[in-house]
Chains A and B, each alone.
Chain A
Amino acid sequence: MSLIEIEKKEVPEKPVEPLRVRGIPFFPHFLLREVVVMCLIAGSLIMLASIYPAPLLKPADPFDTPTPIYPEWYFLYVFGFLKFWTWDIGPIPAKIIGVSLPMVLWYGLLFLVPFIDRNPSSEFKKRKIAVALGVIALAGILYFTYFSIVHH
């Protein structure tokens, strides 16, 4: 904080040109807030790390399959969907669909979001379909994460 105060004095106050947006200047006011938030987050991480240290189980053994095996929490939905989808479609086996849908198709759709949603409005009420689809996608991800934990 004192560092910011010192540096502030070095930049002489000059008449500022009319600003594009209303708001507080990035430096030092906005940056100071950011530094406070950063300290809070860094502190929380250190606290979490000291209370719950990173786990280290037994050494890897290729001949001993443990149960249950969980992937990282952010991949659980893929895992869950693979277990959920048990139907072949024509010649395509269920496993291929179970893998492609949550990975290839899902990320493909995510990439294309701005090109699919051409509605220029960003007001909640004027983009009911986009918001509804977002809620459905979110609920789906949460459901398949839940599914992967329950149906292990």
Chain B
Amino acid sequence: MTLNEKIYKWFDERFKLSELLPPIVKHPAPDNVISNPLYCLGGTAFLCFLILVITGIFLAMYYKPTPLEAYNSVEHIMTVVPMGSLVRSVHHWAANAMIAAVMLHMMRIYFMGAYKKPRELNWVVGVSLLLITTTFGFSGYLLPWDQLSFWATKIGTGIAGSIPIIGGYISLILVGGNDIGAETITRFFTIHVMILPITIAVFLILHFAMVRIQGISGRL
């Protein structure tokens, strides 16, 4: 008995691997999914998400969410921290790629009519994921605290604030006061690294669970 077999047997006796694994491992990927590269888009978005989690964790180690230190800490990441510039740039590009991939994925689902019965709720979860992803982008945009991020956030919160009825509350929750300042940057940081990651994890689990239960739409 080789070492691999011994390890497998050890786990098999405890977790019944020989019953659990085959349905996952032998589960067939439908032919149309394999032959059409458009089916890669959702997976691409998820891969970008994983890259964003990893690079984001490293960025959070050096980033300081205060108006006085935010810019300097990002500059420090870009110039002093080993590989810091690469990690931040990959985070930047993966974020843009993820939003593009989510949008293209949604377009594929729409034009192939893959949202129809029984997949209505998975479409709703998917649109929520698009909203969460763009909110990620919006909250992350302010964090470097440079001219572009400051003024783009000023316009963005201004636009969100002029939505009837709920706009004022959204603006107050986001900005945390009358003007963009220390309260805003800690709020955006918390939203970006705590609230949204938990939210997107829940929605991703729902999204994937529904795909697993209902299968990939084989039509068109």
A interface residues, Cβ below 8 angstroms from B: 6, 9-11, 14, 16, 19-27, 30, 33-34, 37-38, 41-42, 45-46, 48-50, 52-62, 64-66, 69-75, 78-79, 82, 95-96, 99-100, 103-104, 107, 110-111, 113-115, 117, 119-124, 127, 130-131, 134, 138
Contacts A74-B99, A117-B116, A122-B112; is A82 near B25 (CB within 8 Å)? no
Task: Report whether A45 and B217 are in contact in the complex, using a CB–CB cutoff of 8 Å.
Answer: no
Is B33 part of the binding interface, using a Cβ–Cβ cutoff of 8 Å?
A: yes
User: Which of the residues B47, B91, B111 comes within 8 Å of A42, measured between beta carbons?
Assistant: B47
Q: How far is the CB of B180 from chain A (nearest CB, A)?
A: 7
Task: Report whether B155 and A54 are in contact in the complex, using a CB–CB cutoff of 8 Å.
Answer: no
User: Which of the residues B47, B67, B86, B141 comes within 8 Å of A72, measured between beta carbons?
Assistant: B141
**Cα distance A96–B167 in the bound complex, in angstroms:** 10
User: Which of the residues A54, A66, A75, A124 comes within 8 Å of B92, measured between beta carbons?
Assistant: A54
Task: Report whether B22 and A113 are in contact in the complex, using a CB–CB cutoff of 8 Å.
Answer: no
- Report whether over half of chain B's contact residues are helix, strand or loop; otherwise say mixed: helix
Task: Report whether A22 and B30 are in contact in the complex, using a CB–CB cutoff of 8 Å.
Answer: yes
User: Which of the residues A6, A60, A99, A114 comes within 8 Å of B119, measured between beta carbons?
Assistant: A114
B75 contacts which chain A residues (CB < 8 A)? 56
Q: How far is the CB of B201 from chain A (nearest CB, A)?
A: 20
**Cα distance A16–B146 in the bound complex, in angstroms:** 59
**Cα distance A152–B113 in the bound complex, in angstroms:** 37
Task: Report whether B137 and A69 are in contact in the complex, using a CB–CB cutoff of 8 Å.
Answer: no
Q: How far is the CB of B24 from chain A (nearest CB, A)?
A: 7
Task: Report whether B156 and A56 are in contact in the complex, using a CB–CB cutoff of 8 Å.
Answer: no
B204 contacts which chain A residues (CB < 8 A)? none
Task: Report whether B146 and A53 are in contact in the complex, using a CB–CB cutoff of 8 Å.
Answer: no
Contacts A27-B24, A114-B124; is A60 near B156 (CB within 8 Å)? no
A34 contacts which chain B residues (CB < 8 A)? 43
B131 contacts which chain A residues (CB < 8 A)? 107
Task: Report whether B124 and A111 are in contact in the complex, using a CB–CB cutoff of 8 Å.
Answer: yes
Task: Report whether B127 and A110 are in contact in the complex, using a CB–CB cutoff of 8 Å.
Answer: yes
Is B74 part of the binding interface, using a Cβ–Cβ cutoff of 8 Å?
A: yes
From A42, which residue of chain B is reached at the shortest CB distance? B51
Chain B stretch 175-190: residues in CB contact (< 8 A) with chain A: 179-180
Q: How far is the CB of A130 from chain B (nearest CB, A)?
A: 7
Task: Report whether A25 and B27 are in contact in the complex, using a CB–CB cutoff of 8 Å.
Answer: yes
Q: How far is the CB of B156 from chain A (nearest CB, A)?
A: 6
**Cα distance A45–B88 in the bound complex, in angstroms:** 12
Task: Report whether B152 and A49 are in contact in the complex, using a CB–CB cutoff of 8 Å.
Answer: no
Is B13 part of the binding interface, using a Cβ–Cβ cutoff of 8 Å?
A: no
**Cα distance A42–B130 in the bound complex, in angstroms:** 21
Task: Report whether B148 and A57 are in contact in the complex, using a CB–CB cutoff of 8 Å.
Answer: yes
Task: Report whether B85 and A30 are in contact in the complex, using a CB–CB cutoff of 8 Å.
Answer: no
**Cα distance A107–B133 in the bound complex, in angstroms:** 14
User: Which of the residues A20, A74, A114 comes within 8 Å of B134, measured between beta carbons?
Assistant: A74
B114 contacts which chain A residues (CB < 8 A)? 122
Q: How far is the CB of B193 from chain A (nearest CB, A)?
A: 17
**Cα distance A55–B148 in the bound complex, in angstroms:** 10
